[in-house]
Amino acid sequence: MNNHPFHLVDNSPWPITGSIGVMTLTSGMVMWFHKLNMNLFILGLIIILLTMIQWWRDVTRESTFQGLHTKKVILSMKMGMILFILSEILFFSSFFWAFFHSSLSPTMEIGLKWPPSGIKTFDPMNIPLLNTMILLSSGISLTWAHNAMVNKNFNQIKQSMILTIILGLYFSLLQLYEYMESPFCISDSIYGSTFFMSTGFHGIHVIIGTIFIFVSFIRMLNLHFSSNHHVGFEASAWYWHFVDVVWLFLYISVYWWGK
């Protein structure tokens, strides 16, 4: 027995396999963009997916079946999630900085105006507004799920989490459609670069958040959570609300104000 409340994790291969997967994925993206060859990209994706499945399996085993997540460990995990979200805020701040730097003082190279000459922007009252409503609704349904979990209402947890996952997928599909119909691309001036980098990375975060909530949903079906011990679910909810807030800033600044 340990004489301390902390969890000293066993040696794990997953950090190094995850790093290899990310390196392979990014190298594969370069190959895809420049050589139109997706083989390395798909290999990187497979490595990352296998790492995710096995790493999450190990964490689930440690927390649910081995009981290693004490109150001290839970507090550490919550602080880690908060610091991770803070780092994500700074990550997105760089994109907003680039956008406002160029839009508030347009240079001669882009025609001394914003949007730059030749750029036809999206109508903020069309798909972007619908996506805003979808994400806000998904935030409400996830809060409903959390409240149902605290009150031990299993049926409501199921209904609200399924609704949240569907709304997340719907958002991603609409954004894919918007990208396919876009009258400009990432290489069209600073507008195209800032638009696709900011909304694209947000879209990736929505996909990650949807997977996060789906994994929590599967764990919930397997009775891994209780009314007072559901850190994994809480982390997914915090992440999703962060994604919601970033989208509100994107919608107001990039779609509506920057039109």
Domain that includes residue 27, residue range? 1-68
> Is 147 in the same domain as 168?
yes
Torsions phi, psi for 226 (to 5 deg): -125, 175
> Is 76 in the same domain as 165?
yes
Q: Select from 68, 103, 126 the last residue of a domain.
A: 68
What are the helix (H) ranges across 151-188?
154-180
> Is 40 in the same domain as 80?
no
Task: Using alpha carbons, list the distances in angstroms from residue 116 to 112, 178, 250.
Answer: 7, 20, 18
Which domain CATH number covers 18?
1.10.287.70
> Is 93 in the same domain as 137?
yes
- At a CB cut-off of 8 Å and minimum separation 6, what does 6 contact? 70, 72, 73, 76
Which domain CATH number covers 171?
1.20.120.80
> Is 29 in the same domain as 115?
no
> Is 85 in the same domain as 58?
no
Torsions phi, psi for 229 (to 5 deg): -145, 90
Check residue 117 and give left, alpha or beta (phi > 0: left; psi -120 to 50: alpha).
beta
| 220 sits in which H/E element | helix 189-221
> Is 22 in the same domain as 100?
no
> Is 107 in the same domain as 176?
yes
Token pair of 144, please? Answer: 């409903």
> Is 74 in the same domain as 143?
yes
- At a CB cut-off of 8 Å and minimum separation 6, what does 157 contact? 145, 148, 149, 220
Query: Which amino acid, one-letter code, is at 25?
Result: L
Q: Select from 24, 41, 68 the last residue of a domain.
A: 68
Task: Using alpha carbons, list the distances in angstroms from residue 206 to 16, 63, 194, 209, 227.
Answer: 25, 26, 18, 5, 26
> Is 7 in the same domain as 104?
no
> Is 7 in the same domain as 107?
no
CA angle 147/247/125 to nearest 5° reads: 110
CA angle 18/194/127 to nearest 5° reads: 95
User: Which pLDDT tens digits describe the chain residue by residue (259 residues)?
Assistant: 567 888 788 899 999 999 999 999 999 999 999 999 999 999 999 999 999 999 999 999 988 888 888 889 999 999 999 999 999 999 999 999 999 999 999 988 888 899 998 899 999 999 999 999 999 999 999 999 999 999 999 999 999 999 999 999 999 999 999 999 999 999 999 999 999 999 999 999 999 999 999 999 999 999 999 888 899 999 999 999 999 999 999 999 999 998 7
User: Does residue 253 sit in helix, strand or coil?
Assistant: helix
- The count of domains in the chain is 2
> Is 147 in the same domain as 58?
no
Whole-model pTM: value is: 0.91
CA dist 243 and 238 (Å) reads: 9
